[in-house]
């Protein structure tokens, strides 16, 4: 990977970090619900669950973005954390925060499905 390419990925990651850090505030959704109306309460609870799911995905991705930026600094960017293979350039272009090559990512996704834990954010 050239220095220019690496810089482009670094910029993309910094932009993404800013988006994730500033967005998804969702503070209203977490407000304590005081309405006595049951249906209203359920709808608000669903909206809150949805907001929390979004928030959790955003914070997971923020962690991935930060760890990718660390790898840019240490010269490990674009190398699969699991098997050490070079991550495909198209994959990195679509998801610069990807920490695994496509083979290891698919293995991880399958393992997630089998154990019933949430699937990693599609990268």
Query: Applying CB under 5 A, which residues contact Zn ion?
Result: 80, 82-83, 85, 101, 104
Closer Cβ to Zn ion, 12 or 81, answer by number? 81
Quote the CA–CA distance of 80 and 33 in Å, as a whole number: 45
* Alpha carbon distance 82, 84 (integer Å): 6
Give the whole-angstrom CA distance, residue 75 versus residue 120.
Answer: 24
Q: How far is the CB of 85 from Zn ion (least distance, A)?
A: 5
Q: Which is nearer to Zn ion, 84 or 118 (CB)?
A: 84
CB of 77 to Zn ion, least distance (A): 14
> Closest CB to Zn ion among 13 and 104?
104
20 or 68, CB closer to Zn ion?
A: 68
CB 78, CB 1: distance < 8 Å: yes
End-to-end CA distance of the chain: 20
CB of 107 to Zn ion, least distance (A): 8
In the bound complex, what is the minimum distance in angstroms from residue 59's beta carbon to Zn ion?
A: 24
Residues written for the chain = 123
51 close to 64: Cβ distance less than 8 angstroms:
no
């Amino acid at each position: 990977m050239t220095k220019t390419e690496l810089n482009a990925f670094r910029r993309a990651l910094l932009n993404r970090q800013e988006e994730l850090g500033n967005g998804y505030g969702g503070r209203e959704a977490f407000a304590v619900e005081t309405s006595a109306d049951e249906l209203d309460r359920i709808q608000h609870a669903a909206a809150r669950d949805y907001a929390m799911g979004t928030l959790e995905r955003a914070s997971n991705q923020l962690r991935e973005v930060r760890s990718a930026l660390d790898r840019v600094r240490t010269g490990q960017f674009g190398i699969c954390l699991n098997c050490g293979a070079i991550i495909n350039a198209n994959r990195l272009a679509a998801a610069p925060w990807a920490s695994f090559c496509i083979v290891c990512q698919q293995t991880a996704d399958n393992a997630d499905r089998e154990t019933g834990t949430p699937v990693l954010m599609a990268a």
